[in-house]
Amino acid sequence: MHAPPLLAMALLSASALGYEVLLLRLLSIIQWHHFAYMMISVALLGYGAAGTAVALAQRVLVPRFHGVFMAGAVLFGLSAIACFTLAQHVPFNPLEIVWDARQPLRLLWIYLLLFVPFFCAALCICLTFTCFQEQIHRIYAFDILGAGIGSLAIVVALFVLTPVDALRLLGGTGIAAGALACGWHRRKLAAALLALAVVLPAGVPERWIALAPSEYKELSQTLRIKDARAIAEAWSPLGLLTVVDSPTIPLRHAPGLSLNATLEPPAQLAIFTDGDGLSALNRYDGRREPLAYLDYLTSALPYHLLRQPRVLVLGSGAGTDVLQALYHGARAVDAIELNPQVIDLVQRQFADFSGRPYSAPNVRVLIGEARGLVASRREPYDLIQIALLDSFGTASGGLHALSENYLYTEEALAEYLRHLAPGGLLAITRWITLPPRDIPRLLATAAEAIERDGKTSAARRIVMIRGWKTATLLVGNRDFSAADVAALQAFCRERSFDLAYYPGMTAAQANRYNLLDQPYFFDAAQALLSGDREGFLARYKFDVRPTTDDRPYFFHFFKWRSLPELLALKAQGSLSMLEWGYPVLIATLLQASVAAVALILLPLWVARHRQRRSPGAGAGRFELRVVAYFAAIGLAFMFVEIAFIQKFTLFLSHPLYSVAVTLSAFLIFAGLGSRYSARLQAGAALRHPLVRPVLAICALALLYLAVLPPLFQLLAPVPTLGRFAVCAALVAPLAFAMGMPFPLGLGRVSARAEALVPIAWGVNACVSVVAAVLATLLAIHLGFTVVLLLALVLYVLAGLAFP
């Protein structure tokens, strides 16, 4: 047999990982963010199933290695495009997954469709391991080095290609990998495949693969308005931006506008990110009068307690909060926006419409992640305002339940308070959901942030009001005075907003205008700020404990003990209180677990059956140690990887950046570690070569747990590309050590029982399927630190089970 097609395998591995990362983007556009976890799981399931297929059919596949490899690579390229096209037309609606029995089946159908390309790619890679067992270390190194480069390359490509064109590119590179596998002795076939790699993806009609966002996303709903149309698009790894105009029925986006307002908003355009998160672009000609409506929002409250403040706006978007600050006479405004393309749309493409608010006198725009930029500021602010960043539908529907959000954690609020000038205010506006969930959690988190030093009472430093749709919380770095309370009462009286809390407030002063059955918000504030905080958090139907950087799931409110009550009241609409991302995660975990167990047990049963006929195939005890070892390192590797992806999300500003950079660094340096592990296996450490790698993994991981938070704060001012380099440098030594256990174990299995090599590979991949989802579930409830510590325990157990 010829030498292994290492370059072809590296390109195919790069294509498969690039496809996985691209699917995170594509499914964020057509569905919602929480499908990211399903993508990691479905990719690994394809790898596990490939191990099963090779274990069962290696007698047929091994003699036909080159033909199978070429066919698998070509099928990956074709199915990457075709299966996504079919998947996005499955009528799946996560909002109905609990009460509509068809929705879990549709989710399974999407799962199976997207499984196909990964299975095709993994079949080629697993078969390479099986056919060239004497070169396991080289093959593994090329495999994960290619994967690491591919996951990073697709993010770079998304700066210049649309998501659909990036999908075409990956289809082509998959077919090109098949061409590379042909070798010089099949030059004509290789040339034909290379031509196919260029022509076929480019020739797929646009209408076949055009993105079709869910009809329940805000963009889809807005485009149903008569004559509404998309007039501009911009894209990058940070999101697909769509600008919508509605000339016949004007857009009017003014969240929580007082019913006492006498002026309506000016003409507006809507800017959507990934089909959601509407940000209104106001027509502005420099005159103050058309902006009067901005004084009738709950978010205007801090401007009635401060005079000519120096303002910092977090998440400025299309500029409404900047205009609100200018309307109220702010002497200086710093606006932070993560996506530079939003600023480009406002300042350049629609400059005549917007009046270029970011070019107004004393306004400065800062591009980057809010937490990092706040930490890097030296001058204090009189007002730090967190804009209303998400839509009401996604906030109230629980569609962000699995989204990490580092804006509202205890550490974040403490950071904002440190950057306030004497007498300064932190203002946060949120949508009102009933029963209250966001606001009690925000109150509890703010109280913990204020009382971190143990010297200050939160009860005197918080005030809150609510309208019919929004609530605004003010947190001061001082006690609120009688004059503040008088101004607060006058502001609410004139606009018919309700007082929700201020120091000394009584229940009779709450719930006067926008009437609720009970003064829920006042009651929650009293309980959280009056000394019964722990009791309230334990009794409350929803999980509204403060969020931290270790557990940053601000929008996850689910409590298992509330589920029977929610199901019992299903006919009365109680299921609208269940975060929909969470059932999708549970459904994905169940599907992945069933599939993984089946894919592990079936080949083991076949192997045992063969063992009875062929005693030399290996002892049963050895097989159990193989399963235990590869299951342990599969769980451990994914736990560490996902924990660090989440920890680096804050540092790298965006989940996609974190996935791409952290994942690629893990894979590239794990590949280098795999190459180095051959020395351990051949050297003096032969008896137990896993000791050094496991000790290194445990020592480095524990060190990072201690030093990463202060290090991230110290390096916050570093530019984005510099932070990418820092991330890679930090991951490198840990990943290098983590790259050794798999090839060391596989080499030992190959030497003892060659037939078990694909089984070991499949066990590792199948268990990783479950680990990808389980790690997220554990992080939601216990935090990333616990996930990481569990991984270290698993590495130690793997050392004990080493075959």
When computed from its CA atoms, the radius of gyration of the chain, rounded to whole angstroms, is 28
Q: Which two tokens stand for residue 729?
A: 């440098």
Query: Averaged over 516-539, what is the pLDDT?
Result: 90
Q: Name which of 554, 557, 273, 276 is nearest 403 in CA terms.
A: 554
- Mean of all residue pLDDT scores within the chain: 85
692, 680 Cβ separation under 8 angstroms: yes
Query: So what's the pLDDT on residue 569?
Result: 61
Q: Assign 98 a pLDDT band (cuts: 50, 70, 90).
A: low
Q: Which two tokens stand for residue 575?
A: 């299921």
**β strands within 663-758, DSSP E:** none
Cα–Cα dist 173/15, whole Å: 6
Give the residue with greater pLDDT, 215 vs 246.
Answer: 246
Query: So what's the pLDDT on residue 31?
Result: 77
Query: So what's the pLDDT on residue 124?
Result: 93
Least-confidence region, from 116-120, 364-368, 523-527, 559-563: 559-563
749, 757 Cβ separation under 8 angstroms: yes
Least-confidence region, from 252-261, 718-727, 752-761: 752-761
Order the strands of the 276-282 sheet from edge to edge.
229-236, 239-245, 268-273, 276-282
408, 370 Cβ separation under 8 angstroms: no
Query: So what's the pLDDT on residue 568?
Result: 66
277, 391 Cβ separation under 8 angstroms: yes
Does residue 99 carry a pLDDT above 80?
A: no
Query: So what's the pLDDT on residue 573?
Result: 54
3-state secondary structure of 717: coil
Indicate the residue type of 515. L
Q: Which two tokens stand for residue 774?
A: 């389980």
Give the residue with greater pLDDT, 311 vs 692.
Answer: 311
Q: How would you class 252 by CB atoms within 10 Å of its CB: exposed for 0-12, middle for 13-18, buried for 19 or more?
A: middle
Give the residue with greater pLDDT, 337 vs 767.
Answer: 337
Q: What angle do CA 440, 444, 446 make, to 5 degrees?
A: 115
Does residue 588 carry a pLDDT above 50?
A: yes
pLDDT digit string, tens, across residues 429-469: 999 988 898 899 999 999 999 988 776 789 999 999 999 99
Give, as one character, the DSSP assignment of residue 229.
Answer: E
Query: So what's the pLDDT on residue 360?
Result: 93
What pTM was estimated for this model as a whole? 0.86
Query: So what's the pLDDT on residue 582?
Result: 72
pLDDT digit string, tens, across residues 642-689: 888 888 888 887 776 787 788 888 888 887 887 787 776 655 444 567
Give the residue with greater pLDDT, 351 vs 278.
Answer: 351
List all residues 6 or more positions away from 594 whose beta carbon is below 8 Å from its beta carbon.
none
Per-residue three-class SS string for 289-325: HHHHHHHHCHHHHHHHCCCCCEEEEECCCCCHHHHHH
Query: So what's the pLDDT on residue 579?
Result: 62
374, 312 Cβ separation under 8 angstroms: yes
Query: So what's the pLDDT on residue 616?
Result: 47
Query: So what's the pLDDT on residue 130?
Result: 84
500, 464 Cβ separation under 8 angstroms: yes
Q: What is the dihedral of CA 770, 773, 775, 777, to 10 degrees?
A: -130
Query: Averaged over 729-758, what is the pLDDT?
Result: 84
Query: So what's the pLDDT on residue 567?
Result: 65
3-state secondary structure of 526: helix
DSSP one-letter string for 239-268: EEEEEEE-SSS-----TT--TT--S----E
Cα–Cα dist 670/739, whole Å: 4
Query: Averaged over 159-174, what is the pLDDT?
Result: 92
Least-confidence region, from 32-46, 58-72, 84-98, 400-414: 32-46
Q: Assign 76 a pLDDT band (cuts: 50, 70, 90).
A: very high
Does residue 78 carry a pLDDT above 90?
A: yes
Q: Which two tokens stand for residue 318?
A: 């299309």
The b/e string for 179-198 (b: 16+ C-beta within 10 A; e otherwise) is bbbbbeeeeeebeebbebbe
Query: Averaged over 749-774, what is the pLDDT?
Result: 78
Query: Averaged over 576-581, what is the pLDDT?
Result: 60
Q: Assign 494 a pLDDT band (cuts: 50, 70, 90).
A: very high
37, 114 Cβ separation under 8 angstroms: no
For the chain, give the percent of residues with pLDDT over 90.
40
Does residue 393 carry a pLDDT above 50?
A: no
Does residue 417 carry a pLDDT above 70?
A: yes
DSSP one-letter string for 124-139: HHHHHHHHTGGGHHHH
720, 368 Cβ separation under 8 angstroms: yes
Query: So what's the pLDDT on residue 799?
Result: 84
Residue 3 has phi, psi (to 5 degrees) of -65, 155
Query: Averaged over 679-708, what is the pLDDT?
Result: 78
Q: Assign 761 a pLDDT band (cuts: 50, 70, 90).
A: confident
175, 70 Cβ separation under 8 angstroms: no
pLDDT digit string, tens, across residues 220-245: 889 999 999 999 999 888 888 999 99
Q: Which helix (H) or strand (E) holds 464?
A: strand 462-466
Least-confidence region, from 7-21, 33-47, 93-107, 789-803: 33-47
Cα–Cα dist 473/10, whole Å: 52
Query: So what's the pLDDT on residue 628?
Result: 87
Give the residue with greater pLDDT, 419 vs 776.
Answer: 419
Look at phi and psi of residue 498 and say left if phi exceeds 0, alpha if psi is from -120 to 50, else beta: beta
Query: So what's the pLDDT on residue 775?
Result: 87
Does residue 698 carry a pLDDT above 90?
A: yes
List all residues 6 or more positions away from 394 whose beta carbon is below 8 Å from its beta carbon.
32, 218, 276, 277, 400
500, 470 Cβ separation under 8 angstroms: no
444, 537 Cβ separation under 8 angstroms: yes
Q: Which two tokens stand for residue 334?
A: 């710093």
Q: Which two tokens stand for residue 340?
A: 């530079």
Does residue 704 carry a pLDDT above 80?
A: yes
List all residues 6 or more positions away from 134 whose beta carbon is below 8 Å from its beta carbon.
750
Q: Which two tokens stand for residue 610?
A: 């063969």
Query: So what's the pLDDT on residue 687?
Result: 58
Cα–Cα dist 77/84, whole Å: 12
Indicate the residue type of 640. V
3-state secondary structure of 471: strand
The b/e string for 759-771 (b: 16+ C-beta within 10 A; e otherwise) is bbbbbbbbbbbbb
Give the residue with greater pLDDT, 617 vs 33.
Answer: 33
3-state secondary structure of 516: coil
Does residue 166 carry a pLDDT above 50?
A: yes
Look at phi and psi of residue 239 and say left if phi exceeds 0, alpha if psi is from -120 to 50, else beta: left
Q: Name which of 512, 463, 432, 457 is nearest 302 in CA terms.
A: 463
List all residues 6 or more positions away from 402 whose beta carbon is below 8 Å from its beta carbon.
33, 34, 37, 553, 556, 581, 582, 584, 585, 776, 780
727, 652 Cβ separation under 8 angstroms: yes
Query: So what's the pLDDT on residue 392?
Result: 44
Domains of the chain: 6-210+580-801 (1.20.1250.20), 218-273 (no CATH), 283-557 (3.40.50.150)
Residue position matching structure tokens 């000038």: 421
Q: Assign 105 a pLDDT band (cuts: 50, 70, 90).
A: confident
List all residues 6 or more positions away from 420 whose beta carbon is below 8 Å from its beta carbon.
380, 381, 382, 384, 426, 476, 477
Query: So what's the pLDDT on residue 787?
Result: 93
Q: What angle do CA 271, 274, 279 make, to 5 degrees?
A: 25
Q: Name which of 421, 472, 410 is nearest 446 in CA terms.
A: 410
Does residue 566 carry a pLDDT above 80?
A: no
Query: So what's the pLDDT on residue 36?
Result: 59
Q: Assign 577 a pLDDT band (cuts: 50, 70, 90).
A: low
The b/e string for 97-106 (b: 16+ C-beta within 10 A; e otherwise) is bbeeeebbeb
Q: Which two tokens stand for residue 124?
A: 């080629």
